[in-house]
């Protein structure tokens, strides 16, 4: 929603200001200039990125319009899930969660948290490391190193579309200049025309520079920033799981383990100690 509001503000401010200054919007309607800028940008995107990067970027684009995914409520559900699993381990032993880990979709524990169960990436991260804990073959240091490597890989992979769109946004002003130069060349080739007609051609050429800068800094660049922020949010959730599980491996009680996880959250989503304690201890419907 905020993305759409931002787009409307940019469009309204720029074009509205132009009209208030006495300009005519019809003068900005230059489809050929837009064709040159957009076409060159798409061609450069295809030329400068591998098929993997192109696919990842196209897959990431819908996320720009999506609302916040990792909310305070989702983090509280995540820590409640981890608390419930760790309590079960503490009471019944590591082998008691084997079925929950192998088939989370059929687990009564995971079923209590549909928002977490719907996130395949988070569920896979939890179950993979709980499975390693059940096997008992890795110590805390080895498990921590493995988690760090996976989170780093996740973050680097998520940065691929961010970098692609950022580079595309940075190139838009340059393509706008290219379109403007082409317009100037056309103007110079028509130097025999009356001054009034030459003025129109010059104005049309300058629209290319305007469109390139507007598209690059008003739309494409901010979209890359939104994707980067969403990536950081998804990485933060994995870090929360990491800290909680490592605290449990190091011998802390489930209540203290989820407190470790709470501490790594951003302050905007972090529940208070009392909020989390009450949430994780409330009975769940099986």
Tokens found for residue 70: 């990792």
Domain regions of the chain by residue span: 32-95+136-281
Query: CA torsion 80→83→88→89, rounded to 10°?
Result: 150
Q: How many CB atoms lie within 10 A of CB 281?
A: 11
What pLDDT, on the 0 to 100 scale, is given for residue 228?
95
Please report, in tens digits, the pLDDT of each residue of the chain (286 residues total).
688 999 999 999 999 998 998 888 888 888 888 999 999 999 999 999 999 999 999 999 999 988 888 899 999 999 999 999 999 998 988 888 988 998 998 899 999 999 999 999 999 999 999 988 888 777 888 889 999 999 999 999 999 999 999 999 999 999 999 999 888 888 887 877 787 777 778 888 889 899 999 999 999 999 999 999 999 999 999 999 999 999 998 889 999 999 999 999 999 999 998 888 888 887 765 5
Place of tokens 């040159």: 36
Helix residue ranges, H only, the chain: 2-20, 31-48, 51-60, 72-92, 98-102, 108-111, 114-117, 120-135, 140-189, 195-215, 221-249, 254-263, 273-281
Q: How far apart are CA 118 and CA 252, in angstroms?
A: 28
Alpha-carbon distances of 85 from 122, 148, 167, 210, 272, rounded to whole Å: 15, 22, 43, 57, 21
What pLDDT, on the 0 to 100 scale, is given for residue 188?
81
Q: Taking each helix axis from N to C terminus, what angle separates 221-249 and 140-189, rounded to the nearest 10 degrees?
A: 180
What pLDDT, on the 0 to 100 scale, is given for residue 61?
92
Alpha-carbon distances of 202 from 37, 164, 182, 209, rounded to whole Å: 17, 33, 11, 12
Q: How far apart are CA 97 and CA 72, in angstroms?
A: 26
């Amino acid at each position: 929603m905020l993305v759409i509001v931002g787009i409307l503000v940019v469009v309204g401010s720029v074009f509205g200001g132009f009209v208030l200054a006495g300009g005519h919007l019809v003068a900005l309607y230059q489809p050929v200039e837009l064709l040159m800028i957009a076409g060159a940008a798409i061609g450069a995107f295809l030329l400068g990125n591998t098929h993997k990067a192109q696919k990842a970027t196209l897959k990431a684009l819908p996320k720009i319009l999506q609302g916040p995914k990792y909310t305070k409520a989702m983090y509280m559900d995540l820590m409640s899930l981890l608390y419930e699993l760790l309590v079960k381990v503490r009471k019944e032993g590591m082998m008691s969660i084997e079925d929950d880990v192998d088939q989370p979709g059929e687990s009564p524990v995971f079923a209590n948290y549909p928002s977490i169960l719907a996130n395949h990436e988070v569920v896979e991260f939890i179950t993979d490391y709980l499975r390693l804990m059940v096997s008992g073959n890795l110590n805390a240091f080895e498990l921590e190193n493995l988690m760090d490597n996976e989170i780093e890989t996740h973050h680097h992979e998520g940065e691929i579309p961010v970098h692609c769109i950022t580079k595309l946004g940075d190139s838009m002003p340059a393509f706008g200049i290219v379109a403007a130069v082409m317009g100037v060349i056309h103007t110079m080739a028509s130097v025999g025309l009356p001054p009034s007609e030459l003025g129109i051609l010059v104005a049309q050429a300058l629209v290319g520079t305007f469109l390139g800068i507007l598209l690059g800094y008003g739309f494409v660049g901010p979209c890359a920033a939104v994707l980067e922020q969403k990536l950081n949010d998804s990485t933060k959730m994995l870090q929360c799981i990491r800290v909680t599980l490592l605290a449990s491996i190091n011998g802390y009680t489930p209540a203290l383990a989820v407190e470790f996880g709470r501490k790594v959250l951003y302050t905007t989503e972090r529940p208070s100690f009392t909020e989390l304690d009450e949430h994780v201890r409330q009975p769940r419907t099986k």
